[in-house]
Structure 1
Amino acid sequence: MLGVSSTMLFVALVAASLPSPTLTVRMAAAVTPLVKVVTLLEKLESEIQADGQAEAASYDKFACFCKDKTKAVSDSIIAGNDNIASLSATIKDKTAEKANKKTEMGTRKKKQESLATDLSDTSAQCSKEAAEYAANDADLTKAIQSLVDAHKAIGDSKSSGGSGAGRAGLVAVKQSVQKSMALAAALKIIDDGPQWGEATALLQEAVDPADASYKFHAKPILTVIEKLQDEFRQKKSEADVEFAKAKKTCTDTVRDLTNQMSTNKNAMTQLSTDIDGLTSLLAQTRNDLLQADGQMQDDKLYMKDLTALCEKRAGDWDQRAQLRAGELEAISKALDILKANVTAAETVNRRAFAQLRSVRRAAPPAERTAAPA
């Protein structure tokens, strides 16, 4: 196909070369070149129209590509923005959650240390109370047994009279009773009343079991022994009850502290697992955010290039369409002019042939014969 400038030049040359009406009449017998020019222009017009249709079809495909691709990339950018917003929100929320869990972890560590201290102190106090109870219980048990033995010894000394064994037993009884009274005084379970004072005085006297007054002197001592036995047994019973309560309190407290430590430790273990999980999640989310941001930047750059390309092609198409329309308009005008001249030439030709036939008919036979030569 001829170029735009070539086509316009060709049309201009054709228009300039058209003969004047007078010349057309003179050239009535030679119209074949003019018809050829008309045919050539009509062919050129058809080619330009065909090329325009082909180019239009091609541009339509490209325009559809631009439309579809622009929508796809635009949707990708919108989805990318939404994804980035979602990932950013996740990072913000999970970062705050991780910070809260780390704070809770610190609080629970301090609580665990405090519980451990309380457990240690409680265990030490309970052990101390148990040791004190054991020592006191041993003293009371020993004192009770000593008083039982002393009571028996006094009875034995009465039956043995003034023998050496009886006197020795009495001395042992006095010593045992004196120790028991000292223990009772230390435990504050006796009063400094007349009864105890008399018993103390008797214990300090040297009384012979063979003496007739021994029985008189032994009776207050027996009373003291029996009284001490009752007091010691009551004291031991009270101590047993109190220790049982204290022991239960210790056991309950230790169990409660141990359970609290176990629960707190389990919570710390779960917190540690959660923190590790959040750390991994945040790392993965940040990586996803970087990839999403990179993809969106690529999409924006591609959209920019695509828009520029589509706009350039659209501009080129509009320009070429306008030029093609100009070409077709010029050819159409040229054809109108040429076809008008062809019609005039044909009219002249018909008249010329008619005149020629008339002349031949009027001429003598010899001239008609010679005319073709």
Structure 2
Amino acid sequence: MKVGLLCLAWLVQAAALTLQSDEAERPTTKVVKLLKTMQETVESEAKADEDTYDKFKCWCHENTDAKTKAAAEAETTSRELKERVEILIAQSERLKGEIETAEDEVAKNQAALDTATALRKQQNEEFIDDRRRLEGDISGVKSAKAAFNSPEGGAFLQSKVSAVRPVLQQLMKDHLTKLSIDDRETLNSFLQRGDGVDGVLGVLEGLKDDFNEELVKLNDDEATALAQYEDLAAAKKAEIKAGEAQVEAKKEERAQANAEHAQKKQDIKDTQALMGADLSFVDDVKKQCAEMDAEWDERQKIRAAEAEGISKAIEILDAEEAHANFAKTFSFLQESAEHTEHAEPGRAEAARVLADAGHRDARLAALAMSAKIDKFTKVKKAMDDMVFTLTKEQEDEVKQRDFCVQEFQENEVETADKTRLKTSLLAKEQAIDVKKPQTEIETLEAEVADMQKQLKKAGENREKENEEFQTVVEDQRKTQKLLKDAMEVLGKFYKTEAMIQVHAHAGPEAPGGFKDYKANEKSFGVLSMLQKLIDDSKAMEAESVRAEKSAQKAYEAFSADTTASVEKKETAIMDKKAEKAGLEKTLVQTRKGREGAEDALSNLADTKAGLHESCDFLMKNFEARQAARTDEMDSVKKAKAILSGATFAEIQLD
């Protein structure tokens, strides 16, 4: 329509030029040709409008379907995420209860172990007291026997009674129940009258045997109690370790469930935001498409009216009467109008928005040598010191054996615990997938890049359209000025009051020949045509302004929607990057934990090898070493007794 209106202006100007340059050619010939060209232009513009409309409808269809489908998929994803969140909440609550139960069980096992340890300590203290008492009793019996073994004589007998009286009195007091009535009478007779030495020695020998048997039983009971405690302690420690490992594993599992819960909630938020953006975009597309449909209907009507008008104009101007009338009318145009070219402004096309780890001690030889050169007092003192030292070594060796047993048990328990931990951490390490969020990030970044590209292209198109709009408006205003200037020039000659009418036709044929120059009464048609051209130019300017506003509005809506989608996707990218960083951190921590478990297992193996190196000989030869050392102590004690005056036969009684 725009080109058609300007063509009308060209028609007038071209006709005037034609009359001046070629009076012989009929003036309506070129006018009709221009009208036919104008008719072809209208048809071409109609085809271009149809192509533009078809493209826009295709764009409407594609974007509405794609975004509607994306919104439906987002709704499905959101529903699935919400279902997963509910599962994670239930899982977290279940794990919380299991953790509390496991912690209670660990506490109970620890309390049981503490109770057993306290009881074992009490038993050991009682054992030490009883053993010390028995050893004292045995020592007292030996002392009494040694006293009786001194040389006999009157003075010596009284000395024997005085020496052994306190010992015998104490033995009778402490072990009355172990003595028979005859034994009691024998001891009382000796204490009162000093006779019956052989009977007393027999009683003492009997007591010594009882004490030795009791000591053996006491040691056996202690060994049994110790073994039972060690078994119980090992079992409880293993249960505690296993319970603590279970608590730790469930805490880790719950932490993972809580972390996934938080991530899924964020995913729901991002998905719903994207769905909202898609639905908003669909609404904008539908609105733009509705506006396009309305504009298409309006342009169809205008185009039809324009085509009809051009057809009628050709019909009228091709008549013989019109030829004669134009010949007369164009004679009044004295100046050529400037030819103004223009380009039809383009229409904005919105872009589509595309949405994740022994032998005897050498000291005996030294004592033997000392017995040859020292006084008995020093030798006895040295013997006592050696017995004390051997006793201490005996006790230290027992402690060392107990230490080795305990260390082997603890090493085995800890090795099993670290092996389970390593297996658990290795499985967790293999289950962590860092690639998935990276793939989702790359997909989102590609979508953002495409949307930004579309936005840039839309901006460039909008800028080009605006430049075309400015050109059209400028051209129309120049045309309007030229037409107004022409009307002002003609108005000086034609004082008509009916210049603004639009639908009037040229008057009848003027009389032949020239008459005296005066205002032509047939000028109404020319002035009406000029006014019509001015009105059409203004209409074209107004339509261009309306089209520019509509295109700018569509561009702003598209830009706002695209920017909102980009922002939401960039937010989703940041969330996915945070998720990836969290997974990478967890992976590093898990790998370090697994490597730590492996290092701990290596250290435990080294420790076990060291224990074998330091403990195997001791544990293998423990009983033999204990017996040999006991023999050493007996030898020293017998040697001391000999130095004290005992005979070899008396010593053998021990």
TM-score range, shorter chain: 0.5 to 0.7
Instruction: State the one-letter code of the partner of 1:160.
Output: E
1:183 maps to which residue? 174
The alpha-carbon deviation at position 241 of structure 1 amounts to: 0.5
Contact kept? 2:168, 2:187, Cα under 8 Å? no
Query: Of 25, 31, 51, which residue of structure 2 is paired with 1:57?
Result: 51
Secondary structure of 1:206's counterpart equals helix
- Higher helix proportion (structure 1 or 2): 1
SS at structure 2 position matched to 1:160 = coil
Alignment of 1:295 with 2:274, yes or no, is yes
The answer to whether the 8 A contact 1:202-1:221 is kept is no
- Alignment check: 8 A CA contact 1:84 1:289 kept: yes
Out of 140, 144, 166, the residue aligned to residue 150 of structure 1 is: 144
Find out whether 1:115 has 2:109 as its counterpart.
Answer: yes
Equivalents in 1 of 2:185, 2:143: separation in Å? 21
Work out whether 1:310 is the aligned partner of 2:289: yes
Q: Which residue of 2 aligns with 1:202?
A: 189
Say which of 219, 228, 242 aligns to 2:221.
242
TM-superposed deviation, 1:318? 4.8
Do the aligned partners of residues 2 and 259 (structure 1) sit closer, same or farther apart at CA in structure 2, a change above 3 Å counting?
closer
Match of 1:84 among 78, 82, 87: 78
Q: CA deviation at 1:175?
A: 3.1
> Which amino acid in the other structure matches residue 170 of structure 1?
V
Is the Cα contact below 8 Å between 1:80 and 1:296 reproduced in 2? yes
Structure 2 CA distance, aligned partners of 1:302 and 1:68?
12
| Pairs within 5 Å for 1:228-267 | 228-267=207-246
Match for 1:251: what amino acid?
A: E
Q: 1:123 to 1:218 in 2, by over 3 A?
A: same
What TM-score comes out, normalization by structure 2 length? 0.40
Deviations 1:273-324 (A, max 9, x none): 4444444433333223212211211211211221232234235435654675
Give deviations 1:238-282, integer Å, cap 9, x for gaps.
110110011122223333333333333344444444444444433
State the one-letter code of the partner of 1:264: G
Name stretches of at least 5 consecutive residues in structure 1 with no aligned partner.
4-31, 209-213, 343-373
Please tell me whether residue 282 in structure 1 is matched to residue 282 in structure 2: no
Of residues 278-287 and 236-245 in structure 1, the stretch that sits farther from structure 2 once superposed is 278-287
Aligned match of 2:407 = none
In structure 2, give the amino acid aligned to 1:285.
K
C-alpha distance in structure 2 between counterparts of 1:120 and 1:252, whole Å: 14
Alignment of 1:37-56 (within 5 A): 45-56=39-50
Letter in 1 for 2:116: T
Q: Distance in 1 between matches of 2:107 and 2:266?
A: 38
Distance 2:210 2:105 in 1: 47
Q: Secondary structure at the match of 2:193?
A: coil
The residue that corresponds to 1:67 in the other structure is: 61
Alignment of 1:160-171 (within 5 A): 160-163=152-155, 165-171=156-162
Aligned CA RMSD, in angstroms, stands at: 3.6
Change (3 A) 1:92 1:259: same
- Greater CA drift, 95-104 or 53-62: 95-104
- Aligned pairs for 1:2-17 (under 5 A) are none
Q: CA deviation at 1:133?
A: 0.2
**Cα drift, residue 118 of structure 1:** 2.3
Kept after mapping to 2: 8 A contact 1:70/1:306: yes
1:347 aligns with: none
> 3-state SS of the aligned residue for 2:154?
coil
Which one-letter code corresponds to 1:306 in the other structure? V
Partner of 2:96: 102
Q: Could you tell me how far 1:53 is from its partner in structure 2? A: 0.9
**Aligned match for 2:203, one of 224, 228, 245:** 224
Q: Residue type matched to 1:206 in 2?
A: Q
* Cα distance in 1 for residues equivalent to 2:189 and 2:30: 173
Identity of counterpart residues, as a percentage? 20
* Superposed displacement of residue 237, structure 1: 0.5
